[in-house]
Amino acid sequence: MKKAFISIIVLSAILVSCTKNFEDFNVDKKRPSEVPGQYLFANAQRALGDQEASTNVNLNVFKLWAQYWTETTYTDESNYDIINRTIADNTFRVYYRDVLMDLKKAKEALGAEAVQGEEAATAKANRLFIVDIVEVYVYSKMLSIFGNIPYTEALDVTNNIFPKYDDGLTVHKDLIDRLTADYNGLSGSASFESGDLYYGGDVTMWKKFAATLKVKLGLMAADIDDTYAKSVVESAYANAFAMGEDCRLNYEGGSNSNPLYQDLVQSGRHDFVPANTIVDMMNTLTDPRRPLYFTYFEGTTDYIGGIYGESNNFSQCSHIADPIQAPNYPSILLDYTELAFYLAEAAERGYAVGGSAASYYNAGIESSILSWGGSQDDVDAYLAQSNVAYSTAAGNWKQKIGTQAWLALYTRGLDGYTSWRRLDAPTLNLAPTITNYSDIPTRFTYPVREQTLNAANYAAAAAAVGGDELTTKLYWDKN
């Protein structure tokens, strides 16, 4: 398997008081003002991988909102309270300040580097294309969380600390254009000699990552512009990941440990257990990934999930499997498993993607089971079940693909949550604080600080998305 190793100064008025000079706020006197581009890039990669992996309730609640995990004592986040801990503000800050601003600074530093010779010029160009690909990935995450976001006026802390919010679909299409340009621009093999934590400067894998991300963004636009989505997907799928390929940030342990280890082990707390939503479903399907996802309930050979949104006794539930809690457990950003389910969907939509919906569905399941450490026998037995086999599993194609994609994205909370929103499958449980299925959130509301410090642009964005509510459906979530 191809392995990939997966903060700084911010956007806009979110982090600044009306009386404090923004530039002063962004000066860290303990850090040098001139940092080599490769180190800024690595810093952004690390911050991004950490954010995607984290289950810190101040920063990332999507493993809860996808109903993979639920809480034991403190249940605000499982009941969709993101105001008490200003979670939206924190998430916004991490993506813009800790990741995107570092990527911007990396581009500036790398672009200013003097090079001599054709090979050095190609390597410099490749480094800039690679940084841009990661930037596209980050913006796509922001679109999936908030909808309209600061984009064309983002990150200009010198001239504009009150950025406007751009239309989500317009940004979405621009990101795809950028991916196309980045993919076409990458050439040869020289790029980063160090500083690339995901691929170690492997240009071929960065091209595959760009093509895979392009397929993902294409499918996200399918319900609003199917013709456009079809052209995007068909132009990219053949150059995307193959079975066993992914993009990940590997952790070494010690001071370089996965945030999950910090949240679940080092904290000494027992705040999370697997949710009954996923445990019950996997029990019904006799899913071979259960021992890879969860532990047995102590003293039994049963898997028991905590009731979603309720207070749960840690000792009365199954726990998160030990390998997931290990300090060196990787953070996965994108992989073939996810791609295969996109291509199954694409085939159902009538796109020419070189295979049938059933074949890609089977490949997604196989990839997931094998990547988690299961065997080919596990794959074969699982696919032979009538409630799993594509031709006989219950529901329409969205329910079949949506359920298996959601199961496969376990630990990747935002991606699992987005898959549920896109395909409306599987059926989630109702948290105690809501009474209707339509009350399950479909986005984050905008940061509280944006509402006060960037009020005019916030108001325009709220109106444009249809109201700054948790249940407002985003531009790509139409069916």
Domain positions in the chain are 13-256+328-464
**pLDDT-derived band at 395, boundaries 50, 70, 90:** very high
What integer best gives the mean pLDDT of the chain? 93
For tokens 């070494």, the residue is: 252
* Pick from 147, 169, 170, 166: nearest CA to 155: 166
**Strands in 275-330 per DSSP E:** none
Tell me, yes or no, if the pTM score tops 0.85. Answer: yes
Q: How far apart (Å, rounded) are the C-alpha atoms in residues 468 and 478?
A: 17
392: left (phi over 0), alpha (psi -120 to 50) or beta: alpha
Evaluate if residue 28 carries a pLDDT over 70: no
pLDDT in tens, 213-256: 999 999 999 999 999 999 999 999 999 999 999 999 999 999 99
Count the residues in the chain.
479
The string over 332-369, giving b where at least 16 C-beta atoms fall within 10 Å of a residue's C-beta and e elsewhere, is: bbbbbbbbbbbbbbbbbbebebebebbebbbbbbbbbb
> What CATH code would you report for 13-256+328-464?
1.25.40.390
Q: How far apart (Å, rounded) are the C-alpha atoms in residues 293 and 28?
A: 41
Q: Per the omega criterion (within 30 degrees of 0), is the bond before 426 cis? A: yes
Give the mean pLDDT of 308-328: 97
Q: What burial class does residue 54 get, using C-beta atoms within 10 Å of its C-beta: 0-12 exposed, 13-18 middle, 19+ buried?
A: buried
pLDDT in tens, 79-98: 999 999 999 999 999 999 99
